Amino acid sequence: MEKVNLKTQNLKKEIIEIFKKFGLNKNHALISTNALINAELVGAYGHGLSRLRMYCERISKNLINPKPKIKIKKISNSISHIDADDAIGFVAADLAIKQAIKNAKKTGIGLVGVKNSGHYGLSGYYAEQAVKKNLITMIYTNAPPAIAPYGALKSLFGTNPICFGSPTGSKVPFILDTSISMINRGKIRFAAKNNKKIPEGVALNKFGKPTTNAKEALQGVQLPIAGFRGSGLAWMVDILSGVLTGGNHSGRVKDPFDDFSGPQNIGHLFITFKTNLFVKNYNLRIKDNIKKIKKLPKIKGVKEIVYPGQNKYKRFSVNFKKEIKLTKNTKKDLDFLKR
Amino acid sequence: MEKVNLKTQNLKKEIIEIFKKFGLNKNHALISTNALINAELVGAYGHGLSRLRMYCERISKNLINPKPKIKIKKISNSISHIDADDAIGFVAADLAIKQAIKNAKKTGIGLVGVKNSGHYGLSGYYAEQAVKKNLITMIYTNAPPAIAPYGALKSLFGTNPICFGSPTGSKVPFILDTSISMINRGKIRFAAKNNKKIPEGVALNKFGKPTTNAKEALQGVQLPIAGFRGSGLAWMVDILSGVLTGGNHSGRVKDPFDDFSGPQNIGHLFITFKTNLFVKNYNLRIKDNIKKIKKLPKIKGVKEIVYPGQNKYKRFSVNFKKEIKLTKNTKKDLDFLKR
């Protein structure tokens, strides 16, 4: 982030110091700070600095281990298992995607399961790392209960994102990073913290009634996309990231903001593979794919058909050189944490 | 299928003979027949015998190769690439899932890409094979244009299913097999063929207006689940199954029913891996997962929270010993094809 705005550079230094004050080593503080700043720059504020205080609180309560002894177990040249020892999620995920990249570069395909991790922010942030190394990647993580399984009256699945990344033959990667809920929980938290409304049709209150009040929604149930289908996809993510890896699952992942009864033990799964396993001209093929789709006739008012990741990249490119605007609450948090 | 209803056994023999008459060898005829009968027995009529005449027509027009020289290229012990030589999709997919199973058994993970294939019916049917061998599997295939990319006025993506299978520690596998459209194209075809209406909100006619007329829907556009998110998932499937494998993509997969200008060249991707890579007690863990979710309080009127695949298994168990009821059109097709 050399060319980043000077004020952002200073902000970054402040956050690194905060993480170090709470016990993270320099490298882990840097990794965590970069992830938070990136979330701000791509406009994913729910995964950005609004979470900083929560991370620090969990560290000071020994629910995030600031000095984790992370174990990487080699299952094969392709497959690795990481026990993150309750590390901050950013550090666990950073290590995992790097291992998955290494495995795929060596054998064509990488599979890395992670247990005893925590919330790691945006899956797309790690996907970008693999795509920059010219790999395709699929990333799954579970999360605290937010969505009711189809037919149930109580939240159990997390917003459980499905993430897919691919090189595009251009500098703008294809990064699909879609939660299985109608809206990200982080966005609801952000709205609740800043007294903003949420859209209709994305959540129910604790009595099962539709609500646009963010605070009520946090106490209620978030709605999955596409009913039974979305519920099934969330269940799949819980199995892949939790049941398979040794992480928590079936609603046992604790809410980082209001459950201090133990570490989260979130599980993640990272799959990576080379783009040239079956074809020699992958970049040409995907360029052609995107070009063909962009040329389709458009709905009135639509200027451009964009692929997943394109808008985020554009936001990043614009925000990169601007000062990050902190909310009142985040400013308060920073002042509090620096004391 | 030893214990299957006697009339179904006879029906099966009839269909095998039809496929053989059209040039398939005995083994390929059996594989194809089993897939069609299975679709009928699980109640997926749009992937069942209503397609038989289409397959035979494409064989007689040399668009499906009845005597394919299928090449399996070993990329590594984990990774294989199959050129299906325009085989009927059932045969290509059967070979591919068997190869993916073999690779995963050997190395822990299998990845098999297929090109020059055709419509193979239900992804879940192949997922079941891997799950029976105690593997987790993820399967992707593209399909003829049915869904407009988000922002576009024209169909380009297929219904592009996402399929995920896992052992459950019980005889009923977890098989999520969900298309990215609000409704399967096969169901619309079935409705059109039998003059039935389709639900509201699943399709637009060719003028972009909502319709419940199945024939109009076939000329129009199917709606994706969850807007931009569903469109992104369909795009992901097109990349994984088409761009990556060497198959057709970006709307070039031909509609098998009304485009006889060439073979389909559909691509598929099969991922398989062992359940015990990271934990020793996977079956116990997933049993616990399912049990916990089933115990949740239920919405009024819901008797049981079911996992994906459970209803299909139940339908199969009931239908298995009953006679398959053929529609008037399918009877006509059978009579025509036997001549």
Residue A150 near chain B (CB below 8 Å): yes
Contact between A305 and A295 under an 8 Å Cβ cutoff? The reply is no
Is the entire prediction scored with pTM above 0.90? yes
The CA distance from A307 to A338, in Å, is 40
CB neighbour class for B9 (10 Å; exposed up to 12, middle 13-18, buried from 19): middle
**Which tens digit of pLDDT belongs to each residue from B119-138?**
999 999 999 999 999 999 99
A244 to B279: CB separation less than 8 angstroms, yes or no: yes
What percent of chain B is modeled with pLDDT above 90? 81
From chain B, pick out residues whose CB is under 8 angstroms from the CB of A282: 243-244
User: Which of A76, A297, A298 has its CB closest to that of B108?
Assistant: A76
Res B28: pLDDT: 98
pLDDT band (50, 70, 90) for residue B299 = confident
**DSSP string covering B120-143:** -S-HHHHHHHHHHTTEEEEEEE--
pLDDT digit string, tens, across residues A224-241: 888 889 999 999 999 999
A-interface mutation test, from B117, B160, B293, B305, most A Cβ less than 10 A away: B293
Helix (H) / strand (E) element for A221: namely strand A221-222
* Residue B230 touches chain A, beta carbons under 8 Å: yes
Is A302 in the B-facing interface, judged by CB distances under 8 Å? yes
| Both tokens assigned to A169 | 């033959």
State the pairing for strand pair A174-178/A162-166.
Answer: antiparallel
Q: What percent of chain A is modeled with pLDDT above 90? A: 81
How far apart, in whole angstroms, are the C-alpha atoms of residue A160 and residue A232?
A: 11
| Protein fold of B6-181+224-279+318-338 | Ribosomal Protein S8; Chain: A, domain 1 (3.30.1370)
Q: What is the DSSP letter of A159?
A: -
Check if A156 contacts B (Cβ < 8 Å).
yes
Number of A/B CB contacts below 8 angstroms equals 211
Which residue shows structure tokens 């790392």?
A: A129
Place of tokens 């859209």: A199
Average pLDDT (B77-82) is 98
Q: Can you tell me whether residue A222 is helix, strand or coil?
A: strand
Q: Mean pLDDT over all residues of chain B?
A: 94
Is the separation of the CB atoms in B190 and B140 below 8 Å? no
The first and second tokens of residue A151, run together, are 């037919």
For residues A227 and A234, give the distance between their C-alpha atoms in angstroms, rounded to a whole number: 11
Give yes or no for residue B82 having a pLDDT over 90.
yes
Residue B1 has pLDDT above 60, yes or no: no
Q: Among A330, A237, A257, which residue's Cα sits nearest to residue A39?
A: A330
Which residues of chain A lie closer than 8 angstroms to B238, CB-CB?
Answer: 289
Read off the DSSP letter of residue B160. -
A152/B308 touch (CB, cutoff 8 Å), yes or no: no
Q: Calculate how close chain B gets to A1, using CA atoms only, in Å.
A: 29
User: Could you tell me if B126 lies within 8 Å of chain A, comparing CB atoms?
Assistant: no
A242: which chain B residues are within 8 Å (Cβ-Cβ)? 289
Instruction: Return mean pLDDT, chain A.
Output: 94
- Flag whether residue A305 sits within 8 Å of chain B, measured between CB atoms: yes
CB contacts of B148 in chain A (<8 Å) are 296
Is residue A94 scored above 90 in pLDDT? yes
Residue B115 CB partners (closer than 8 Å, separation 6+): A278, B81, B82, B83, B84, B245, B246, B247, B265, B267
CB proximity list for B61: less than 8 A, separation 6 or greater: B260
Beta strands (DSSP E) in chain B are: 71-74, 79-83, 109-117, 135-141, 162-166, 174-178, 203-204, 221-222, 266-274
**Interface residue A245 vs chain B (CB under 8 A):** yes
The mean per-residue pLDDT over the stretch A256-274 comes to 97
Is A226's Cβ below 8 Å from some Cβ in B?
yes
| Residue B213 DSSP label | B
Question: In which element (H, E) is residue A192 found?
Answer: helix A185-193
Say if A78 is an interface residue toward chain B (CB within 8 Å).
yes
Q: How far apart are CA B275 and CA B273, in angstroms?
A: 7
A311 touches chain B (CB under 8 A): no
Q: How many CA atoms lie within 13 A of A274 on its CB side?
A: 19
CA distance B45 to B38: 10
Tell me the average pLDDT across A292-297. Answer: 96
Residue B204: its pLDDT value, please? 82
Q: Which residue has the tokens 């099934």?
A: A232
CB contact under 8 A, B243 and A286: yes
B336's tokens: 């025509």
pLDDT surpasses 80 at A3: no
Predicted confidence (pLDDT) at residue A207 exceeds the cutoff of 80? no
Asked if B76 has any chain A CB less than 8 Å from its own CB, the reply is yes
Judged by CB atoms closer than 8 Å, whether chains meet at A307 and B235 is answered as yes
Chain B residues with CB inside 8 Å of A103's CB? none
Q: Do B153 and A251 touch (CB under 8 A)?
A: no
Chain B nearest-CA distance from A249, in A, is 7
pLDDT score recorded for residue B3: 67
**Spatial contact of B310 and B124, defined as CB atoms under 8 Å apart:** no
A183, containing H or E segment: none
Taking only the tens place, the pLDDT of each residue in B167-204 is 999 999 999 999 888 887 888 989 999 999 998 878 88
Least confident of A79-93, B65-79, B195-209, B248-262: B195-209
Is A249 in the B-facing interface, judged by CB distances under 8 Å?
yes
Tell me which chain A residues have a C-beta less than 8 angstroms from the C-beta of B304.
151
For chain A, which residues make up each domain, given as ranges?
A: 6-181+224-279+318-338
The answer to whether residue A124 neighbours chain B at the CB level (below 8 Å) is no
CB-based contact, B127 to chain A, within 8 Å: no
CA distance B333 to B265: 25
The alpha carbon of residue A255 is apart from the nearest alpha carbon of chain B, in Å, by 18
Question: Does residue A60 contact residue A339 with C-beta atoms inside 8 Å?
Answer: no
The 3-state secondary structure of A263-303, one letter per residue: CCCEEEEEEEEECCCCCCCHHHHHHHHHHHHHCCCECCCCC
For helices B328-338 and B6-21, angle between their N-to-C axes, nearest 10 degrees: 50
Decide if A232 touches B, using CB distance below 8 A.
Answer: yes
The DSSP line for A61-113 is: TTSS-SS---EEEESSSSEEEEE-TT--HHHHHHHHHHHHHHHHHHHSEEEEE
CB contact under 8 A, A305 and B150: yes
Collapsed DSSP state (helix, strand, coil) of residue B66: coil
**Contact (Cβ atoms closer than 8 angstroms) between residue A25 and residue A105:** no
Torsion from C-alpha of A58, A61, A66, A67, nearest 10 degrees: -150
Chain A residues whose CB is inside 8 A of the B286 CB are: 239, 243
Q: Which amino acid is at A315?
A: R
Confidence of residue A1 (pLDDT cuts 50, 70, 90): very low
B280 at interface of A, judged by CB pairs closer than 8 A: no
Is the CB of residue B271 less than 8 Å away from at least one CB of chain A? yes
Reply yes or no on whether the pLDDT at B2 is more than 60: no
Inter-chain touch B108–A229, beta carbons under 8 Å: no
At residue B203, the pLDDT reads 85
Q: Which residue of B has its CA nearest to A236?
A: B164
Contact at CB, B178 and A136, closer than 8 angstroms: no
Set of chain A residues whose Cβ sits within 8 Å of the Cβ of B302: 151-152
**Alpha-carbon Rg of chain A, whole angstroms?**
20
The predicted pLDDT at position A180 comes to: 86
- Verify whether the Cβ–Cβ distance A176 to B245 is below 8 Å: no
Picking from A78, A148, A176, the nearest residue to B236 by CB comes out as A176
Write out chain B residues lying below 8 Å of A278, CB-based.
75, 81, 113, 115, 244-246
